[in-house]
Copies of this chain bind each other. A is one copy, B any other.
Amino acid sequence: MPLDRTDFALIALLQNNFRMQNKELAAAVGLAPSSCHERVKRLWDEGVLLSAHAQVDPKRLGIGLEALLFIELGKHERQTVDSFLEEAVSIPEVRSAFLISGRHDVVVHVLARDTAHLKNLALDHFTSRSCVTRVETSIIFEARLRHELPHIG
C-alpha cells in the first residue's frame, strides 16, 4: 500500500510523458516489462493514478489570449459558492476555478480568442451575476506549467 522508490519513479515518468510505452517505462525503472505492467496497474487500481490527458496547442484552437479573473462574492454561503464554482467551470472558456482565502474569493483562468471575446466572457458570465460584487481582470503575458507533482514526506 505505501509507495516505494520505483512507484515514485513511474509516477514521475507518467506525469511528464504519458505516451511512454510499458516497455520503455520498464527499462527506465530497471524492471521487467511484466513487473512494470503490474505496478502501473496497481497504481491505477489504488487510485494513485487518476486519469491522463492530452495537451493541445491553444493557438491551433483559435485561442489568442488567456486571463485570470479575480472575483469577489457578496455572499459566502455554501450554496452560493458551490453553484458559482460549478457554473463557472461549465463555461467552455474556463480552464480552472479556485476558491481561495484572502482578498479575492475566486480566481478563474479563462481562454479567449481576443480582447473582445474576453470582454464578453467577463461581462456575460461574471460581472453580471448577482452574487459577484467585483471582477478584476488580468491578462496573462506568460504561463509556465509543471506537470509533475512533488512527492513530500
Contacts and interface: CB of A to CB of B under 8 A. Distances in A.
Contacts of A68: 98, 100, 107
Interface residues of A, number: 67
Contacts of A88: 144
Interface in A131-149: 136-149
A29 interface: no
A147 B147 CA distance: 13
| Chain A contact residues: helix, strand, loop or mixed | mixed
Report copies per complex: 2
A141 B76 CA distance: 13
18 contacts: A11-B54, A11-B61, A14-B54, A17-B51, A18-B54, A51-B147, A56-B149, A62-B152, A67-B100, A68-B100, A85-B142, A92-B150, A97-B143, A100-B138, A101-B139, A102-B138, A102-B139, A111-B149
Interface of A: 3, 11, 14-19, 46-58, 60-63, 67-68, 85-86, 88-89, 92-104, 107, 111-113, 117, 136-153
